[in-house]
Structure 1
Amino acid sequence: MRIGWYINRLRSMSPAEILHRLGEHRRKVVSRRRDDGWQRYGSPQLHPVFHGLRGAVQANANADQRQAITAAAADTLEGRFSALGRTWPPRDRHRLFAAEAWRLDPVSGTLWPGPEVHAFDVDFRSAGDRGDIKYVWEFNRLQQLPPLAVQWLLSGDGKCLEAIEAAIDSWHAANPPFRGVAWASGIEVALRAISLIVTLDIAGDKLAVATRGKTGEILAASAYWLPRFPSRFSSANNHLVAELAGEYLISLAFGSESVSARAALVAEVDKQILADGAGAEQTPTYAAFTAELILLCATAARQAGSPFPTSVDARLAAFAEFAGWLPARGGGFGDDDEGRALTLGDEPDYVRSVAAAIHGYLGMAGDAPAPGDFRALFFGAPSRQAPTPDGLRTFAQGGLSVWHGTMNGRRIDLTYDHGPLGYLSIAAHGHADALSLTLCIDDEPVLVDPGTWLYGSGREWRNWFRSTPAHNTLNIEGQSQSIISGPFNWSHKARATLVESQDGLPWKLSASHDGYKARFGVVHRRTVTGEVDGIRITDQLLGGSHKAEIVFQLAAGLEASREGGTVRVSRGEETLLTIRFPDGAVDIRAGGDAPGQGGWVSPRFGVRQPAPRLAWRGEVGRDGVAIHLAVPPRLSVQSDIL
């Protein structure tokens, strides 16, 4: 698998990137010989990065936040840890951070390599029997520590300080520089450094001198690692932003702003957050992750008296506006690995939490953060509630159109994806979902993106969740518009084009993509039209006629029943949607032992649930086929549509 990965990746590289990779390889060879051991990374004097953070936390903390922080700290103190849809085996609260805890995969129960193996020799792309590397990395991010520090600040609980010291001392002993799995990826190095910096700014002067010294050594080794092995060229996505953020914030902790890291970070803002606020990686959660990292750095720069250019604030504001247009639930697309910079753990709506933090930082109107939101402690809350978006909005650069409105007295939220596959040459986190729809009714997901499932250990299921047949669009012969060539790579990318965006009643959206042109000689065009009580979807194949499949993936917990060419979608006794198909076979299946046998959704990383998948099959050509989605009135007044 490792050889195959290199071959596929090489095909995506430019000559300049190949030269960069060769130079990187030479640096890794040198590093293996000389860079081990803490003795090379003495602890410098540490300075505050987020000035006044203690006062801000104390001033902003409300009852809901205090309760959420207390619960998060209690979990850590009792040896409980959950992330990515999994709960780790419980740990003895008197021995919370044993050396093996940093290498444990909670799914397989096996240990990943430790200090006996150099980080560059850890094959984390080939899972084998160890599981998905993301689980081990998640624990090593040390994101349990800032909530402990805040809990100490708000309650005076000395056990929180003891746990912070135990975690840092244990991690330092178990993970010498560039040895083992914890040093194998730059984004992990950066996120861990950010956790330590925030923890120090809240509780650092109360920690033991020895622990502070070890923290300084970890930061010093991280400061060496990050600029030496950066994510560049095809890898320069959210990983690069995280690495630059870590490098920049460490420089402030050492008392001297890194001009190069600052300049590179500011340059990435315009690349990775597009002018209309959408994320270049074609996934709202990765856009939020990127925005949160930039927001942290912008806050630190402002507090240090050297604010970022106003263009950075403008892009952050644009992302927050984009996030405000997304459905509150069920409107996600592309990959989501639940990456965060500041977190208490599970969050109901990360994207909107980051948007609220941006509005708080900028002093703008926006949606209020959810009760117990952790970020609001650091950035404050929006100045006032923003009006609810209504009507049609097209984000042309990001390639997404959103419609909010009412049909038969019910709130409807629809998204239509006409954007590129993803960012840079490998489009690592994009899905083959061009011209796909999602639909929420009264804030409940009905037609959904299938989600992510797993990364490194997902294997054929990773491919299924990224594939066109798993999404709410048309496919030909079960093949994807874009061709998968690895868990984070594509050998061919479909290009989508917006043809028309018309607001009003009826509103209308039309777009096309060329993903099937080379193989089947056709271009897929989809037109979506809003009607008084429903939505009409017309799919055409321009240039020929083929047997095709048009898919509607329902949310978990919904039911589908068919009578003739009409499918009724319901929750219990309540009909949410009726879908009238043209002549042809309509198949309804959920679950299955192999990809493609039925519908599956992944509501969060590492979680997979069976859910009905509706698949119409028939001939499609230039004249197209039309499918009508009707929204009935609420249960109390609806008639039997069927």
Structure 2
Amino acid sequence: MKLWALQERIAARAGRVLRRSLDQMRALSTPTYAATAGAQSQNERFGFLDHDFMVRLAALSPWHPGVISRLADDAIGHRFDLLGSGPVVVAHGIKCAGLAGISFDPVMAPDVDADGRWLDKLVNRSNVAESRRIWRCIEGGYTPIDWQLDFKSGYRWSEKTWYGRIRFGHLRGVDVKVPWELARMQHLPALALAAHYARAGLLAERTSYDYVREAKNQMLDFIATNPPGFGVNWACAMDVGIRVANMVVTFDMMAATGVDLGEDFQSIFSNSVLAHGRHIARNMEWSPIFRGNHYLANIAGLLFAAVHLSRSRETEIWLSFGTAELITELEYQFHPDGSTFEASVCYHRLSSEIVLWSFALLDNLPVEKHASFAQAIDWSEPTPPRRKSGPLALHTVPGTSRLGPIPPWCRERLHKMAGFTKALTRPDGLIVQFGDNDSGRFLNFGASEVHAARGNPGHPAWSLDHRSVVSGIDAFLGYGCEDAASAIIAAFAGRGSLANTRPTAAKCPDASVGNIDIWNELLALSDTVEQVSAWRTDFCSRPGILDKLERQKFNGMGCFVFRSPTLYLAIRCGEIGIHGLGAHAHCDQLAIELLMDGKSLARDPGSYIYTPLPEVRNRYRSVMVHHAPRHLHHEPADLLLGVFDLRESAVGECLFFGDEGFVGRHRGYGFDVYRIVRVCNDRVSIVDFSPDGHHISDPQPDKIDFSSGYGFADGTGPR
């Protein structure tokens, strides 16, 4: 590195350390609650939730009111089943079950009082006065939630710790994702939607006001006990972004019920939205290369905050900058074929949902918000990215007379993102789990997977049925609404009809790679290698595999699919993900997922868990549990680099993809290893081989409990 470049990096690092120290001193000495946010922007974003619309929703999906009622009842009871926790009533002082035999003793519950004196010992001194004031706005009889608790292990963070000093990932058995998941507030929209069903007379158990009151109380509880910048729930800007989006949507839906939310609550809420936006703006999870779904969530949080708040120079910058960055990241994080660049099919859903809801928000903006796009923006926050963007062009929103900032090519890319999900969906409706699965979502309005899973997060459909993102994208693009959740997205985006007018599926384009000469040459080569350097596997079926056989390829991520009435075969062969970081990739190059005659014969085992059990995390990432070429007991990547690091691992290369089958190779073991997948009328034949004489082992995966979602494992395996 040149001396001037090194000096520049040292100076930048010193600047960051100094800024961080100053930020901490300021936060400890002055209140961090935002003040004078002003009234929220007047909107009727959910004004469509009238009596007739709710009746039509229930007719479109008769199961939907029941699903929403159960979700809302769980929220009212503070009963949460997240990331494999099992149903837990989350409160201060509870005893937690533990993870893998690791549990922490409960912290003594505070003596809660209506005046908020109990907060004196929890909240830092500079914020306690405002915290107590906010707490006093909660209506009587409410029991606070312990937002700082990992309610699997029992470990608890402190509300007094500045977010920059929060530690996580260093204690075995402790999972920071648990409080983060709860504090995303993704349970709140169900409360607001239940209020509308109750108002329409479709739920008789509670009144509309009962649901609104609980949602208000929970938001006030969180705001009072989580001062901006303090505690575990401000440590990750991604979760801040998802939280503020869910809070804004819930507030808008509550406002549409006609229930008086009260001036005090509205002021506190708007100040909290402002604090969320400012926190995100100062902590963008941007990197010149290694940025991904976290940064997408940052952008979305800024957008929802900006649209909620009244116009100011600050919110106009957020809206214009966020829109420009959203369009940039769509191109950066999704390949032209619609596949994700993170090498994870499940993270594809999360990122697709973030883009979908952000587009829906921007398609139906109040006209006065368009002024934000008419000016050049200089993003001057002290943290990257450094951006200057000119005025954004406005385009006609399809099917309307409105204008919006989303270019037509973005809608085409979104359509292809849905196509990727459809292609990677097995005949049983469940997704192929190439790469990580943390069960992450953005906004959830009781979509069809909740109904399919019968309300049980441990059911495979809860995390692996991704059809809701497809129906949501179809509804947004004007193709009609398949269920209640997609109808809400369509109406939120300004589409008026609930009609189901899904287009006829287009014929698959040619998906060939290579030519028949390459196929024949490699088949012949596989027959010449030494016996120890090849392993052959046959999966037999009744004749008919080739009937109506279709193929799809996604060169971006590297997924190749064969499908017929009796066959589903997906092959992973391509990039490592996130431009080589591989944060959410597994050692699954040339791995297959195979169903024949409705039976799973080779299946990706999932992810199970991340930082609490690093050795278990690595086991689920290992080639040993995937049906992929193996060389003795070696890994094609260094799993010890870090739980979110697979740099310099194998990149897969597809050499042939045609009606005859597939050929791919990688060099993860230090030499060329090939996999030939031959699709015959009564079998799928696989040969793994090394033309250089290296030992090739049985690819049959080691036994491990199947994990359908984060924190879940079948059987008696690690829990």
Short-chain TM bin: 0.7 to 0.9
Q: How does 1:547-558 map to 2 (within 5 A)?
A: 548-553=696-701
CA distance in 2, matches of 1:371, 1:55: 13
- Equivalent residue in structure 2 for 1:516, among 669, 689, 712: 669
Cα-to-partner distance string for 1:178-237 (whole Å, 9 max, x where unaligned) = 100010001110010001110111113632322222221221111111121111225410
Instruction: Kindly provide the CA deviation profile for residues 513-551 of structure 1, in whole angstroms up to 9, marking residues without a partner as x.
Output: 11112xxxx2111111100111011111133322x3333
How do 1:231-630 residues align onto structure 2 when only pairs under 5 Å count?
Answer: 231-233=285-287, 235-256=290-311, 257=316, 258-304=319-365, 305-326=403-424, 327=426, 328-329=429-430, 331-343=432-444, 344=446, 346=457, 347=462, 349-364=464-479, 368=482, 383-384=501-502, 386-387=504-505, 391-406=550-565, 411-484=566-639, 485-503=641-659, 507-517=660-670, 522-546=671-695, 548-553=696-701, 598-610=703-715
Asked if residue 152 in structure 1 is aligned to residue 195 in structure 2, the reply is yes
1:380-405 per-position Cα deviation (integer Å, ceiling 9, x unaligned): 68622654975111112221001111
**What 5-or-longer segments of structure 2 have no aligned partner?**
1-5, 93-138, 200-207, 366-402, 451-456, 509-548
Indicate how the Cα distance of structure 1 residues 291 and 160 shifts in structure 2: closer, same or farther if over 3 A, else same.
same
Q: What is the deviation of 1:81?
A: 1.2
Where 1:433 maps in the other structure, the secondary structure is coil
Q: Number of residue pairs matched?
A: 541
Asked if structure 1 preserves the Cα contact closer than 8 Å seen for 2:637 and 2:648, the reply is yes
Greater mean alpha carbon deviation, residues 330-339 or residues 163-172 = 330-339
Write the distance in 2 (CA, Å) between the matches of 1:433 and 1:545: 20
The residue aligned with 2:530 is: none
Say if 1:515 and 1:192 are closer, same or farther in 2 by CA, change over 3 A.
same
Cα distance change, pair 270–28 in 1 and its aligned pair in 2 (3 A): same
State the partner residue of 2:77: 78
TM (normalized to structure 2)?
A: 0.70
Matching of residue 30 in structure 1 with residue 178 in structure 2: no
Residues 1:611 and 1:111: Cα distance change in structure 2 (over 3 Å): closer
Q: What's the offset of the Cα at 1:22?
A: 5.6
Contact 1:79 1:96 (8 Å CA) reproduced: no
Q: TM-score, normalised by structure 1?
A: 0.78
Q: Per the alignment, do residues 15 and 470 of structure 1 end up closer, same or farther by CA in structure 2, a change over 3 Å counting? A: farther
Q: 1:58 aligns with which of 54, 59, 62?
A: 54
- Give the superposition deviation at 1:287: 1.1
Equivalent in the alignment of 1:124: 168
Q: Secondary structure at the match of 1:220?
A: helix
Deviation track 1:571-613 (CA, whole Å, cap 9, x = no partner) reads: xxxxxxxxxxxxxxxxxxxxxxxxx6x433212110123599x
The 1:350–1:210 alpha-carbon spacing in structure 2 relative to 1, beyond 3 Å, is farther
Match of 2:232 among 173, 181, 186: 181
Give 2:40's aligned residue: 46
Cα distance in 2 for partners of 1:426, 1:50 equals 43
Aligned residue type for 2:562: W
Q: 278, 296, 321: which is aligned to 1:224? A: 278
Alignment-derived partner of residue 557 in structure 1: none
Query: RMSD in angstroms over aligned alpha carbons?
Result: 3.0
Contact 1:102 1:139 in 2 (8 A): yes
CA distance in 2, matches of 1:611, 1:401: 33
- Distance 1:77-1:96 versus aligned 2 partners, 3 A rule: farther
When structure 1 is superposed on structure 2, of 234-243 and 58-67 the one drifting more is 58-67
Distance 2:359 2:24 in 1: 35
- Alpha-carbon separation, structure 2, partners of 1:417 and 1:483: 19
Per-residue deviation at 1:250?
1.0
Distance 1:479 1:50 in 2: 59
Uncovered stretches (5+) of structure 1, i.e. residues with no partner: 1-13, 554-595, 613-642
Structure with the higher strand share, 1 or 2: 1
| Rounded Cα–Cα distance in structure 2 between residues aligned with 1:107 and 1:516 | 38
Deviations 1:587-641 (A, max 9, x none): xxxxxxxxx6x433212110123599xxxxxxxxxxxxxxxxxxxxxxxxxxxxx
